[in-house]
Amino acid sequence: MTHYDIHSIRADFPILKTKVNGYPLVYLDNGATTQKPQSVINAITDYYTQINSNVHRGVHHLSQLATDAYEVTRRKLSEFINAAQDYEVILTNGTTHSINLVAHCYGKQFVKEGDEIIISAMEHHSNIVPWQMLCEEQGAKLRVVPINDEGELDMGAYQAMLNERVKLVSITYVSNTLGTLNPIKEITKLAHDHGIPVLVDGAQAIQHLHVDVQALDVDFFAFSGHKMYGPTGVGVLYGKEKWLDQMPPYQGGGDMIKEVRFEKTIYNELPFKFEAGTPNIEAGICLGAAVDYIKTIGLSQIALYETELLKYATKALSEIDQIRFIGTAKEKSSVISFLVNGAHPYDVGVILDKLGIAVRTGHHCTQPLMERFGIPGTVRASIAMYNTKEEIDLLVSAVKRAASMLL
């Protein structure tokens, strides 16, 4: 597609026709989860009506169809992020599961007393708490890269933190609260200069910009299916083979073994070593359908469109006197967080909801970040490929109305 046909894209998402309190739904909570195109919805029904069966087990016809479809998804995901090998793509339940897997398996193997893990001040709780748990367990120290008032990483402070005690850097690509787009390539290069591997939380990046894990040279990359137009309950942990090979398994059970004896179990090869038990098969297969959908629109087209929309929204909202933006980094993607007249974000959210506009309010699973800005939370509008300028106009007039009500 050369022309970005927003009308036909919107027509692919049936839920966008919803009316809320008599108003057309304006869905701007895409940072929490995205809506699903009909092709993804159909894939769920097709799976259950045509090939439902367990994977990696049976010799029978249906089991082979299910296994093939599941493995085709791995192939598609691997290609989507340009992994060197398909078996470097571990299918998980989502970003949270992926990060916990690394904290547990990499942590157990490589993090010892006195070691350090680096995260940043803008991390989602799921890229904070697993590291706190690991550090507590191992007697290691969690170090936090500070940010400036715009919501940009302090790269000087980051560089000063890198030393031989640091065993991992774990940083988000795009902040789900501020929209800040972090310089991952540079972050990774600096860490690698000290021999330190890097995990990237890609939950807010994978649906907005082209991700090439080899070009970025990251060691781990985590994301969720449900934020990229796919189903809940499935996600990805990409890991470089050299790390995955050295890490012990996460959970024990079926599928992750080659041979089980009471005396000793031999673990399966990658990726199955990290995939114990029956996976979320239908979600995995549907995630493949979501990748197909994104590819038919084209990620570079989506990125262009969304960048334009973000600019439009930022400008339009900035014309409201009572607005205060939280997160004004030079490099941003898809997220606008703000406060209105100093009112509690929840009160703004309720008024917007009455007018059919879905935004997220609160701390967005980034409480330490809210503390950094000295606020309880924000109103967050987060955009996806199907949002329009008309919807932004509706948001702006609703925020104006909220501003006049919440004096």
Ligand X SMILES: *Cc1c(COP(=O)(O)O)cnc(C)c1O
Which residues contribute to the site for ligand X (CB under 6 A)? 94-96, 124, 126-127, 172, 176, 201, 203-204, 224
Residue among 79, 94, 69 nearest 237 (CA)? 94
Distance, in Å, from the CA atom of 392 to the CA atom of 377, rounded to the nearest integer, reads: 21
Token couple for 143:
């170090």
Taking the least distance from each CB to ligand X, the nearer of 95 and 378 is 95
Is residue 330 helix, strand or coil?
A: coil
Q: Write down the least CB distance from residue 102 to ligand X, Å.
A: 13
Nearer to ligand X, 179 or 356 (CB): 179
Q: Which is nearer to ligand X, 355 or 380 (CB)?
A: 380
Cα–Cα distance between 324 and 317 in angstroms, integer? 9
Cβ 3 to ligand X, closest distance in Å? 30
Q: Which is nearer to ligand X, 31 or 107 (CB)?
A: 31
CA atoms within a 13 Å half-sphere pointing along the CA-CB vector of 314: 20
Beta strand spans in 85-234 (E): 89-92, 116-120, 141-145, 166-172, 198-201, 220-224
Between 120 and 224, CB nearer to ligand X:
224
DSSP assignment letter at 25: P
Q: How far is the CB of 360 from ligand X (least distance, A)?
A: 11
Q: How far is the CB of 180 from ligand X (least distance, A)?
A: 11
Cβ at position 124, least distance to ligand X in Å: 3
Among residues 67 and 387, whose Cβ is nearest to ligand X?
387
Residue 334 neighbours by CB distance under 10 Å: 27
* Catalytic-labelled residue, pool 105, 135, 286, 365: 365
365 is catalytic: yes
Residues with Cβ within 8 Å of 144's Cβ and at least 6 positions away in sequence, in order, are: 118, 119, 120, 121, 368
User: What are phi and psi for residue 288, nearest 5 degrees?
Assistant: -60, -40
d(CA 395, CA 16): 16
Please, what is the minimum distance in Å from the beta carbon of residue 127 to ligand X? 6
Judge whether 77 and 90 are in contact, CB under 8 Å.
Answer: no
Q: Starting at the edge strand that comes first in sequence, how are the strands of the sheet with 89-92 ordered? A: 89-92, 235-239, 220-224, 198-201, 166-172, 116-120, 141-145
Q: In whole angstroms, how far apart are CA 189 and each of 118, 209, 342, 387?
A: 15, 20, 40, 35
CA distance 102 to 238: 10
Residue (125 or 165) nearer to ligand X, CB: 125
**Hunting for tokens 């969690």 — which residue is that?**
142
Q: State the minimum distance, in angstroms, from the CB of residue 191 to ligand X.
A: 19
* Active site members: 365
